[in-house]
Amino acid sequence: MKVIELKNVSFKYDEEYVVKNVSFSIEKGSYTTIIGHNGSGKSTIAKLIMGLLEKEKGQIFVDGLELNLENLYKIREKIGIVFQNPDNQFIGSTVRDDIAFGLENHCIPHEQMDPLILKFAEKVGMLNYLDSEPTKLSGGQKQRVAIAGVLAMYFNVIIFDEATSMLDPQGKKEINELIEEIHREKNITIVSITHDIEEAVKSDYVIVMDKGKVAMEGKPEEILLREKELIQMQLDIPFTLKFKNELKKQGVNVETNLKMEGMVDALCQLNLNK
Amino acid sequence: MPIEFKQVSHEYSPNTPFAYKALNEIDLELAEGKITAIVGATGSGKTTIVQHLNALLLPTQGEIVVVDKTIKSTEKPKNLKALRKQVGLVFQFPEYQLFEETILKDVAFGPKNFGVSEEDAQEKAKEALKMVGLDETFYERSPLDLSGGQKRRVAIAGILAMDPQVLVLDEPTAGLDPQGAKQMMGLFEMLNKKHGKTILVVTHDMEHVLDYCDEVVVVERGKIAMHVSKEEFFEDASLMVKANINPPAIIRMRTMLQEKGFAIPNTVLSLEALVKALKKGVA
């Protein structure tokens, strides 16, 4: 079942089209990554889906509802977004108030709010900062708070627009694991706009944007081994592909596997210098 | 001209309910002419450290010697302007600070502010733009029309136009696509190798630390947990585990292969060396 569907959507800033005739759909319960270089139209797509920008042409459906003025607020109850720079998203004067704000807007009864705030502040590792001012936190801590706020609302769909870009690798790993956990347990659809090719490797479905269009889409193993096209679109290639290329250069032929574990197994079978 | 932190502490909002000690009696000596990475978990104090370098923050205790100036808790350095000229600090998302009508004006703003004549400021701005790879076709364009990566280059050029000896960058590649990020790191490498700038870069990207930096400083809960050469850092995987750092892909692969019984020395830090080591011993 499709939870998000775009049909021939276009959008322009001034005279320039940044999204051109884009159609794709996202399966309910999937973990979809959208990759593409800066300026390829990824973030614009997210804002169009949220109704933060108005499309020029085409149709957008969220959970069966067409995005229009009449449905806008119904749609925003189903879908949440975390932006890259959460500074633009903070409202509360403390971390606690900020998480509470979204819950209040969703008419969560007061007695249910506190446990939710505590639960998600703990999950993102910000329990000790509930009374801190969001603006005084570090970039990565702000991202943690913004993510807690959105997770606590249990939307059907959450869009993460490079929402962990300022986290340290370990923190990023923890937050990504948390997002995966919520995704699995609550069957929440995740749309992650990311530059992290390794995150795309682990996702269910990959959409590649280039110059405002969908350049490729499919399962990771169908998309992420297409080295020439990825490089042409100024994207990174998976580490395992780089490894395979170096092996080949030095005369060792081994089948490419997107996962590191798969490469290790393949190398074990070659029985090199054990 | 080393940079030295002596027993430096910093507490935010002291004597309020929000009081928070971000740095706790740190000692740190940074050598000249190197690219040093400052790494550590979010909130560990990295940004607080770098903001001390041009006296944007003053220590609440201890002192910092930068270039030939001393920054103390009790007194601002006598010549703050000269210090800020020698130490260029580039914030997170510096592109939000662009404001002039044209790129050339924006970049020339810094030197003009330091009393350089309009003409000379323009010359310096042109040189700086050239360094960051933006040619004359950009001079009269609005900085707001550029892509994220280009905007960031303009912001960095604005700092370079003041010709600082030390360039401090706080997460300069956050939000850039992988190629943009590589070009950005390549720019710092060039500024270091060709123009002899001492570079301090706060980063989370361990691949960048491995590819571009000379030394690694690990900050942990307001303390310096480690200060080692890049080689030392990546050769000993236990150091990364200790610092709670997720190693770069090449190091994870090295460890996985070692665990499967492949004889790969810890000195392997590149794909080329990894494959060579794998092939060794095969007839």
**Concatenated DSSP letters of B263-278:** ---TT--SHHHHHHHH
Contacts of A85 (CB under 8 A, 6+ apart): B93, B175
pLDDT digits (tens, 9 = 90+) for B219-231: 999 999 999 999 9
* Residues in B 81-100 with any Cβ partner in A closer than 8 A: 92-93
Q: What is the mean pLDDT of chain A?
A: 91
In sequence order, what E strands does A153-211 have?
157-161, 189-193, 205-210
What residue ranges do the domains of chain A occupy? 2-237, 238-274
Question: What's the pLDDT at B283?
Answer: 35
pLDDT digits (tens, 9 = 90+) for A28-61: 999 999 999 888 899 999 999 999 999 999 999 9
Q: Dig out the tokens for B208 from the structure.
A: 């960048």
Interface A–B counts its CB contacts (< 8 A) at 141
Q: What pLDDT, in 10s, does the model give residues A161-214?
A: 988 877 887 788 888 999 999 999 999 999 999 988 989 999 999 999 999 999
Q: Are strands A31-35 and A189-193 parallel, antiparallel or unpaired?
A: parallel
Which ipTM did the prediction report?
0.79
Query: Which positions in chain B touch A138 (Cβ < 8 Å)?
Result: 42-43, 47
Residues 6+ apart with CB under 8 A from A88: none
- Say if residue A112 is exposed, middle or buried (CB neighbours under 10 Å; 0-12, 13-18, 19+): exposed
Q: A193 vs A85, A207, B189, CA distance in Å?
A: 13, 9, 29
Contact B41 A170 (CB under 8 A): yes
* A273, pLDDT greater than 50: no
- Write down the pLDDT at residue A139: 80
Candidates A131, A133, A272; nearest CB to B262: A272
CATH 3.20.20.100 fits B3-247, yes or no: no
Contact A273 B250 (CB under 8 A): no
Task: Tell whether B190 is within 8 A of chain A (Cβ).
Answer: no
| B14–A contact, CB cutoff 8 A | no
Nearest Cα of chain A lies from the Cα of B211 at a distance, in angstroms, of: 14
Residue A88: per-residue pLDDT: 72
Q: Which residue of B has its CA nearest to A273?
A: B281
- Domain covering A2-237 in this structure, CATH number: 3.40.50.300
Domain chopping of chain B, boundaries: 3-247, 248-283
Residue A196 DSSP code: -
pLDDT category, B1, cuts 50, 70, 90?
low
CA separation, residue B75 to residues B61, B70, B241 (Å): 11, 9, 40
pLDDT above 70 for A271: no
* More confident position, B150 or A192: A192
